[in-house]
Every structure is written in structure tokens, then in C-alpha cells.
Structure 1
Amino acid sequence: MANILVVEDQRLIAGVLKETLEIEGYRVTTILNGEDAVQFALRETPHLIILDIMLPGIDGYEVIRQLRSHPKSMHIPIIILSALGEPADKIRAYECDVDGYVTKPYDTDELLARVHRQLRRAQQNYLSPLTDLPGGLQVVRAINYKLGKMKPWSILYLDLDNFKAFNDVYGFLAGNDMILLVGRICQNVVYKYGNSDDFVGHVGGDDFVVLTTPDRVNTLCMHVTARYKEESTTLYRPEDLRCGSISGVDREGQPYQFPLVSLSIGVVNNQIYMPHSIQEVSYLAAEAKRHAKQSTSNISCISPQYDKAHPESMSSATSSSPFLLSPSFSFATHTNAFHDLVPLAEDNILAEYEVS
């Protein structure tokens, strides 16, 4: 069921729109001014926005500008519903990148047709068809947005380990349930413990990203891993949970015990070294995730001198500023006990977590 935000300062019109859309099966929130609309959109990420132009405080054009400039909201379809019906008004709105323009008094059938179309278009072009989270292109835009800012940021790169074995044994529908679970946990944890404009994206397959700030990393990782450990148990057969492994067949057709699916989280931030491109961010995130997957103990370290450990990568990444990394950590939480996550060093740029 899609969530729709109606931004309309006339309470009567807002009430009629809410009732009409709810009859169609949508969840509807009405807001009377532009400032609150922007904050709500960044926090709740509605599937579609119906927006008036003439609002108290900032007008509809400024609302559009702010939402289109932020990666968390830039993909949300916006339909203008306004009494301003001159061609110049419509042209200005479309130049601001709105998705539709309906004039008051409006025809209900026309408005609903536009709503249906824009929701389908957003689903097809911007969102993961499985999780309804922003997909590949939106993830790239969100990371590039962070790279363009001087403020501290952190990227959590989440990946499921041994997922293929689980998918092969339990079937693709159970695999989808596992992916949906991780996406739902990420959304809920970020909503409760993250910043209002933190970004959650589905890269594809069993990979997810969370864009946040360094001060939220420990809390987010701790709660994501704890909830995954608890809630993923419902996806296994009781006998597999008792054994702590999945009974399957390897590539040679021989019986084999596969580990339960674990969740790895690689963390990259810009507190020591400022990555200059999404390619550098991607490489660092992959390294973080790789070390998390390789972790066999509660803590493992990567060499603080990144350029010594990976000299071949430095020439392509940067020729003037070496990656000087402080020690990074990997935390493993086993199925029989949940260990407290060791706090990250304040100057850490790259860390890994793993929960199984």
C-alpha cells in the first residue's frame, strides 16, 4: 500500500483529497505548510507527493527544490495541484522537475489517473521491485551527494553470507523473505536510531547500503545485527537451528552442512581521508565487507597503512594523498550468544561487523 503526502493549506481541500485517496486504498498524510512537508518527506519518504504551490512560509517551488536536491527524496513523484493555471506557472513547475500538474478545480478521475501512473513509473524506474527501497542509480546519486559535502559521513555496506546455500536449500521465496527481512530491519533501525535524512538503499541481490553520520554507526550496527540475529531464526527449519547449519548438497552432489546465513557490515567514513570518487568509496566498502566475511574471531585488524597493504591500488586511487587508515575492527556474534559490539575508534575510517 502506497503512502501519499498531501501538502495543502486549505483544510477542506486537504480533507477531500485524503478521503478520496484513502477510498482508493492509499495511506494519506496531510500537511498544511512547506517546511513541515520537507521534514516529513525526508523522515518518512512517502511514495508520492501532491503539492500546492501557494503555501504559508516557503512556497511549493522551494519545497520542490529542497526535495529534488536531496538523494533521499529526489526520486519521489511530485504532482502539483494548484489554482495557478497560466502556462508560465506550469512551465516553471516542470522546469523544477515535477511529474504532473493539475489545476483547481480538478477532476478527480484525472488526478487519480496521474497518481496511479506516477506510482507505477517510480516503482519501475527508481525502486527495487522486491524491497521498495531506492535502487542502484539512486544509491550512486546518494553517495555522490555525500562526496560533494564537507560534513562527516559514514556508509554501511551490508551483505548476507552463505545466502546462496540458503536459497538453494529453502527456495527462492524463502530467499526473498530473507532479503525483505534485512531491508525492513535497516529501515526500522535507521528510522528509530538514525538521522532524519539518513538514506537506506538496496544495491541489488542481498546487498544494502545505509548512509549516515559517524556518531550513529555504532548504534545502527548494534541494533541491525541484534535484530537480524533474533528475527532471522523464523526463516529456518527447527532442525537446522538446533544444528546451527543447513543440510544441503554441494556441487558434486554430496551431502554437506552449510553455515547459517550471517550478516556482514562494512563501514567507510571520511573522518581521516576524504574519498574523491565513488570508485574509491566502492573499493573501500568492498574491502571492509571482505574483511568482515573473513573474520573468524571477535576482532580482526587491517593494516593502518593502507598504501603498504595495497600498493597496487594507490596509483589508480590517488598519487598525492595516501590512504592512512587507523586499525579497523570486525565483530562476530555467534548464534548461541550475542556479544556487545566493541566501540569503534573515534578516528576510524573503515570497520567491519559480522553477525551469524
Structure 2
Amino acid sequence: MKSSSLIISTMLFCAAALVHAQDVQTVKIGLAAPLTGPQAFYGKDSQNGARLAVDELNEKKIVVGGKQLRFELLSEDDAADPKQGAAVAQRFCDLHVNAVIGHTNSGTAIPAARIYHQCGLPNLSPSATSPELTKSAYNTTFRMLANDSTLAQALAAYTVNVLKLKTIAVVDDRSAYGQGLADAFRTALRNTPVTVVTQQYTNDKAVDFSAILTAIKGRNPDGIFFGGMDPQGSAMLRQMEQLGLTRQKFIGGDGICTQGMEQRTEGMKIQDNLVCAHSGIALDRTAASRAWKKRYDDKFPGQFQMHGPYSYDAVLAVAKAMQAANSVEPQKYLPAMAKVHFAGVMSNVQFDARGEIKNPTISIYTYQDGKRRLAN
């Protein structure tokens, strides 16, 4: 009798375990970012933010369509290269992932967006800021932060009203991001007292800016605006110091508003000339954002840059849309993405008809005694 009871109990336990296993559904979240090369620290920061969100969602045991969801992050390296980014996008389509967080760079995000649209795959960029990304108005593409036009307008207003500069030189790295930001900044300066005295170009792999800076020195502007990323921005600032361009403000967007820029310019006499801006609140501004930063640092010590909070919020946006639609299938939850609204780490997450984040906050930073501080 005991033996029979034991057999029956074992069978019931196994059956329950089988049912439980069948009630778990895997949700594959693709992460597309530069994980190798000079911009790998940006990509890994985005990956970390997405990983933190995935881990926290799995702890919550979310149920959709009667099944408990198990989120899985699949990371692919696009090397900040448009061709490789397109190949990554096609791979995610072929793998039938449930959503994509990426791409990091505008140059990779823009061509990838067309591929995702063709296969009906929602993609949310945590960092690509070129307005071109949403001009096609693909219903599958969303941006988690302010675009270059919004950021440039805030920087231009600060340049005019607070810094009170009269002349400025503009430099960009000819990337989709750098060129787009520089163009937007020049446009925002129209009909203001600030004159653009020269426009110079480099590339996103350059290390020597002596010719550009010598030409700029001859025009003696009050400031230099740089559209590009911090590996080039920090080298340019160092060479400005060497050439005696020590009174000029060095202004840029989120590409130079990073931990990396702060670390690379530490000890420079003209670090205090830096002015930069990024989308979203300062992470030390609210209790919730401070708590998020602590969780990030505990899990990924010393790796924070700036994009992690946006990729974190992007994963949450996908999860909330799935819950609202009661489905993890892209074609079923995609309409719910347009209605997502929640308090994210950096801002209230809500999208407009083009997939842009609504009412983004812009934070402007300056330096004093080598320490970055919030200016607004």
C-alpha cells in the first residue's frame, strides 16, 4: 500500500512539474550594440542596463497569456558599423526574437530600423539621437531619449543666455550622430547673437586634431562645439590645451557627457571649460534614480557610462506592452507600445506618433575644479 501511494505521489509530482515547465514561456530580448572596438564601453553599458532589467523582471515572475515569462537577453556586437548592424538586425529577425534593444549609434540604428520594420520587430534605441531615425515613422521604431534637435536647442539656449558667447567654431566627426548634432546646433543658433566663424570636419577614429585646431585658433572663437564621442572629444580637448586654446568653452552633447570623458580629461587644466548635455534627469536628482544607480553599480561595478538607464527602461517598456496586450508576440503587443506610460529611471516613458519619447528632460553639465556638476 505504501509502495503504491509512493508511486502515485511521484507520478503526481512529475505531472505537476511537467505542467509547471510547460507554463513557462521564454521571451527573447535582442541587444544590439558595439561590444568590441573603441566604443565597446558604450555598448556594454547598454547591455548592463538591459541585463539588470531582465534579471529584475525574472524575479517578479510576470504572467502573460496564462504563462510565466522567463526573459532571456541575446547580445550581438554591431561594432558601431552600419553593415554589421544591418547583419545583426537580419539575424534577430531570423531568430524571431520578441524585441530588440538597440542600436547604440545612429549610423547603425537608422539602416537597421528598416529591416526591423520589414519583419515587424519592435526596436527601441537607448542612445541613437539622430532625427533621421524616426523620419520614416516606422511603427516598430522607438527612441528612449531626446533627439539631437531637442538637445541642440537646449545647448544653443545655454550658449546664448548663460555662457553669452559671441563666436563659435563647429566641428563634427561626419558620423550620423556627430554630423546630425552639429547641424542641429548650427540651426538652433540662427537668429541669435552667436556667429559660427568656422566649420571643421574629422572622423570618428581620428586621434590628431592639430590641423583643425590650428585653423580654429586663427579665428579665435569664444567656444568650440564638437559633434562626436568622448574618445575624440577628450583627445581634442588635450590638444586644445597644448595649442593654447585655453579660454574657449568646449561644448557638446551626450557623446561627451560621459563617465569616460570625465576620466579621460581628469587632471587637464582646461577640464573646467567643458559644457555638455544629455537627455533625462541627473541620476542623483531623485531617490528612485539613486536607488537604480546603486543596483547597477552593485551588479556592474565601475562600468556605468550613461546609456544603461535607457536600455533598462526600454526592456521595461516592452514588458509593460506585453502585459497590456496579454501577448509576447510582436504583432500583437506592438499596438500597446504606442500606449505605454510609466515612470522610468530617466523620464516618464511615453511615445508620440513617431516613436519619439514625449516631453524629454535635458540636463546640462559644467565642470568646476575638475568635478562635473549640474548646471540647470
Structure 2-normalised TM-score?
0.27
Higher relative contact order (CA 8 A, sep 6+): 2
